[in-house]
Structure 1
Amino acid sequence: MGEDKAVPGHRAGTRAGRRARPAKRRRAVAVAGWTAAGVLVLGGSGLGYFYVKFNGNIKSVDLDAALGKDRPADVDNGSQDILVLGSDSRGGANSEYGRDDGGSARSDTAMIVHVYEGHRRASVISIPRDTLVTRPSCQTASGRTDPGGPRRMFNESFTVGGAPCAVKTVEQMSGIRMDHYLEVDFTGFKEIIDKLGGVEVTTAKPIKDGASHLDLPAGTHRLNGEQALGLVRTRKSVGDGSDLGRIQLQQAFIKALLKQVKGIGLFDNPKRLLDLADTGTKAVTTDSRLGDVKSLMGFASGLSGIDSKDMQMITLPVGGDTRDPNRVVPLQKESALVWEALRADRPIPPEATEKSAGDKGTAGSVVS
């Protein structure tokens, strides 16, 4: 086993100007990441004051300016690739979850969402935060250059250089250009779930995790924001106690969330829709191409045809690191199969995950 290298060849992503087939119905949509709800936005126009207000809520990052031209080629083949991050910043409203050095932000969860041509199917690849990769050089917030290097934890990219460094690392790993970037933090995630009225899940066995403040008996529950956050952060009390098990829980929760969003009739309740739009646009950070309500709304509308049953979810093929039992490394051959499939806009083949430690656990079966 060794670290994954950048895969030669390029399957480019799509730009914001790509057109998806119109959805039969306008619906609020949540697309993957441990928050899928990070892309919940407005459905409709003519909102006047609210439109301006929501525009002002959205935070964005100009990745084109930050990364320049040293990126995989951008070829229009009808698909899209989006990097979705869960931000684990421990400053401000998130400080109740503990403190890290200097309150710096961390990427607690990362997912690559590949939307296939036609925007009716998607694949989601979760990247374990403890994956050892060769990190590229990145500019830090202070303006200096961090040289990067081999055997660096994947989630350090976000800590070192924010969204641009995280995107640069993913693009180097995969050889795939990320068309968009979405990020949401602890507090935003909780508030979105609460505005949705909670999310219903069924647990096959009790889950009690002191670290994530979660205590659920077996059975069906409607989780509020605090409980939902506890679930997606739970690790030691489910499965083998590793981050790989936590990823399976997150994937199961995302599917439950998608089902809920499509079934609650947001457009029949204008107040709930406006409250959710206000909360959602405050919670997310996007790339600059999605940095306004019109662009974000168009992006979400183009994804509204994707149901949870049409979403293939895997963990990046990884194995244990021979030098550090607390780390994993990408399986080179199997990871290459994943990236090749996405570049060609094809489903990920089953053999890509057959030897991976990431999809072997049982944690995902605990929640439905």
Structure 2
Amino acid sequence: MTTSTRGRTVPPRHRSAAGTRRRKPGRRGRLALAIVLSLLLLAAAGAGWVYLKLDGDIKTFDSGGLSNDRPPAGSSKGENVLVIGSDARNDGNAALGGGDVNDIGRSDTAFLLHVYADHKNAVAVSIPRDTLVTIPPCKLPDGQWTTARRDMFNSAFSVGETAKGNPACTQNTVESITGLRVDHTVVVDFKGFAALTDVVGGVKVCLPQKLYERDLKPKLPTRGKLLFDKGEQEVSGQKALDYVRIRHGIGDSSDIGRIKRQQAFVASLMKEVKSNGLTPTKLLPLADAATKSLTVDAGLGSADKLISFAMSLKNIDLHNTKFVTVPWRYEGSRVAIVEPDATDLWAALKADRTLDGKDASGKKKASPSALPTATPTPVSGKGITVTVYNGTTVTGLAATAAAQLTRSGFTVTGTATASSQDHATTVIEYGPDHKSEARTVARVFPGAALQPVPGAAVNVVVGESYKGGSTASPQPTALPKEVAEGARSADDNPCSNLSYG
């Protein structure tokens, strides 16, 4: 008889006492790992898309417009970033700033941000738009280059008369007047500025009095509606833009007073950004807003470069971030740079010295003592021929300069009166084959501008800043008192020091 198993209960295999199926060891762990990896891949793909999007929004300007006669790279361990506020009306900016959409691009605001090598200190130096400077040769849209000329600082941005302006020409001008290498240039237009203030949720500002529409647009027949109340308030978007543009009705209605308020605004903006946290997560919305309306040099022309640079600033304390204006004085209705104060300021930045004379180069020192006074280096003019012109109304100034040059070994072929006597600073003119000799001559006149002139040998046009004296160019141990005492810290009260005049 065959024994059948039909109907017999056969114990199921691979069941536990609880009756649940056992999985092979490690399967659950591998599944979780697969899920995590998938999420990471998705996140990475998302970040990649964000960066790709940001890259697509960033605009760069032509580096071919930069001068071939630039300060040497690496002359300072810190970084110098030129920030230009453009009032161009193209790309939708006319809706915010008014004006003709086809008008040429102009710059009403510019400052050179020096990030010290220790990455714990920074200083922003504002350059008034009406400052009379020598604008060096700049590239035109057709590829031709201009000749050097004396003009207001903000006209450099308008060379070529294009809608988007000429950032390279402004950079050339800043390098020429400061002797500092500009590592990066950033141009912010109306849209970008307004968008940044919206992203951070508003910026605290302060006004000493009520301001009306006519204070922003002085040609209006009536004062118009109230734009700003007196005292501290929060602004963003269009209102923030109106705040930094307005200059009438406060103090002496000058651009210098407006610069002080713009410095206070940037300080408040930095406070908001720092309070939100300098992390990639927080920076991405800022970067998204900024890149849509920024024009930068090729060195910042990608999202990772732009965000990496921003992250490099995270350890700079607000109190150690200072705002100053280049030493200046009125020259008629324009502004002139005061020497040797300005030269002392540029020398301090080049040496990575803070406004109070401290070493911020990041180098370890054997002694915490104060910076030593540099030993003056004599200038030798052997073999260099110079002609000296008096560019002022001060009698005998050319003869004084000629005698000083002769004592240093230069051969002076003669002295004469310049074609104009309104030179605030000394200019060293030189032909294409005499650049190195001109640089040697310039050491005798700290703060002098170098100006290429076709057909010239080496000429010195003495300006009012020249007072005669030593041919040495020592590094100063401290900045002029007016520069240091007039500085604003980024953590200052927004209602302090708002107006000039």
Counterpart of 1:313?
323
Provide, for residues 174-232 of structure 1, a one-character-per-residue CA deviation record: whole Å limited to 9, x for no partner. Answer: 11110111110012111121122111234343344535377221233221211111111
Counterpart of 1:247?
259
Give 1:169 deviation, angstroms.
0.4
Given the alignment of the two structures, is residue 82 of structure 1 paired with residue 81 of structure 2, yes or no?
yes
Cα distance in 2 for partners of 1:176, 1:275 equals 32
Given the alignment of the two structures, is residue 216 of structure 1 paired with residue 228 of structure 2, yes or no?
yes
User: Aligned ranges for residues 110-125 of structure 1 at < 5 Å?
Assistant: 110-125=110-125
Normalising by structure 2, we get a TM-score of 0.58
Aligned partner of residue 111 in structure 2, secondary structure: strand
Counterpart of 2:159?
160
Q: Could you tell me whether the CA contact under 8 Å between 1:87 and 1:183 is conserved in 2?
A: yes
Aligned partner of residue 119 in structure 1, secondary structure: coil
Cα distance in 1 for partners of 2:322, 2:487 equals 12
Q: Could you tell me whether the CA contact under 8 Å between 1:193 and 1:225 is conserved in 2?
A: yes
Q: Could you tell me whether the CA contact under 8 Å between 2:322 and 2:487 is conserved in 1?
A: no
Counterpart of 2:289?
279
- Cα 1:307/1:266, change in 2 over 3 Å: closer
User: Aligned ranges for residues 160-199 of structure 1 at < 5 Å?
Assistant: 160=159, 162-199=166-203
Aligned partner of residue 86 in structure 1, secondary structure: strand
Give 1:148 deviation, angstroms.
3.1
- Cα 1:94/1:340, change in 2 over 3 Å: same
* Among candidates 331, 341, 344, match of residue 334 of structure 1: 341
Q: Work out which structure has the larger RCO, using CA pairs closer than 8 Å and 6 or more positions apart in sequence.
A: 1
Give 1:166 deviation, angstroms.
0.5
* Among candidates 302, 306, 317, match of residue 292 of structure 1: 302
Aligned partner of residue 110 in structure 1, secondary structure: strand
The residue identity in structure 2 corresponding to 1:49 is W
Q: Could you tell me whether the CA contact under 8 Å between 2:287 and 2:307 is conserved in 1?
A: no
Normalising by structure 1, we get a TM-score of 0.78
Given the alignment of the two structures, is residue 55 of structure 1 paired with residue 67 of structure 2, yes or no?
no
Given the alignment of the two structures, is residue 229 of structure 1 paired with residue 241 of structure 2, yes or no?
yes
Cα distance in 1 for partners of 2:45, 2:498 equals 41
Cα distance in 2 for partners of 1:202, 1:51 equals 36
- Cα 1:74/1:290, change in 2 over 3 Å: same
Q: Could you tell me whether the CA contact under 8 Å between 1:205 and 1:366 is conserved in 2?
A: no
Q: Could you tell me whether the CA contact under 8 Å between 1:248 and 1:364 is conserved in 2?
A: no
Q: Could you tell me whether the CA contact under 8 Å between 1:334 and 1:353 is conserved in 2?
A: no
Cα distance in 1 for partners of 2:185, 2:67 equals 16
- Cα 1:172/1:192, change in 2 over 3 Å: same
Greater Cα shift, 190-199 or 243-252: 190-199
Counterpart of 1:257?
269
Root mean square deviation, CA, Å: 2.9
Counterpart of 1:365?
497
Give 1:297 deviation, angstroms.
1.2
Q: Could you tell me whether the CA contact under 8 Å between 2:80 and 2:182 is conserved in 1?
A: yes
Counterpart of 1:33?
none
Calculate percent identity across the aligned residue pairs: 39
The residue identity in structure 2 corresponding to 1:334 is D
The residue identity in structure 2 corresponding to 1:67 is L
- Cα 1:234/1:203, change in 2 over 3 Å: same
Give 1:364 deviation, angstroms.
5.6
Provide, for residues 280-313 of structure 1, a one-character-per-residue CA deviation record: whole Å limited to 9, x for no partner. Answer: 1112111101100111111111011123311121
The residue identity in structure 2 corresponding to 1:276 is L
Aligned partner of residue 133 in structure 1, secondary structure: strand
- Cα 1:302/1:273, change in 2 over 3 Å: closer
Given the alignment of the two structures, is residue 354 of structure 1 paired with residue 482 of structure 2, yes or no?
yes
Give 1:353 deviation, angstroms.
5.9
The residue identity in structure 2 corresponding to 1:203 is L
Cα distance in 2 for partners of 1:336, 1:76 equals 16
Q: Which has more helix, going by share of residues?
A: 1
Greater Cα shift, 298-307 or 213-222: 213-222
Provide, for residues 153-188 of structure 1, a one-character-per-residue CA deviation record: whole Å limited to 9, x for no partner. Answer: 000101105111101000010111101111100121
Greater Cα shift, 302-311 or 237-246: 302-311
Across the two proteins, how many residue pairs are aligned to each other?
Answer: 315
Provide, for residues 210-255 of structure 1, a one-character-per-residue CA deviation record: whole Å limited to 9, x for no partner. Answer: 3537722123322121111111111112222100000000011111
Task: Identify unmatched segments of 5+ residues in structure 1.
Answer: 1-43
Counterpart of 1:7?
none
Give 1:54 deviation, angstroms.
0.7
The residue identity in structure 2 corresponding to 1:104 is I
Q: Could you tell me whether the CA contact under 8 Å between 2:345 and 2:479 is conserved in 1?
A: no
- Cα 1:342/1:117, change in 2 over 3 Å: same
Give 1:359 deviation, angstroms.
7.7
Give 1:327 deviation, angstroms.
0.5
Give 1:261 deviation, angstroms.
1.1
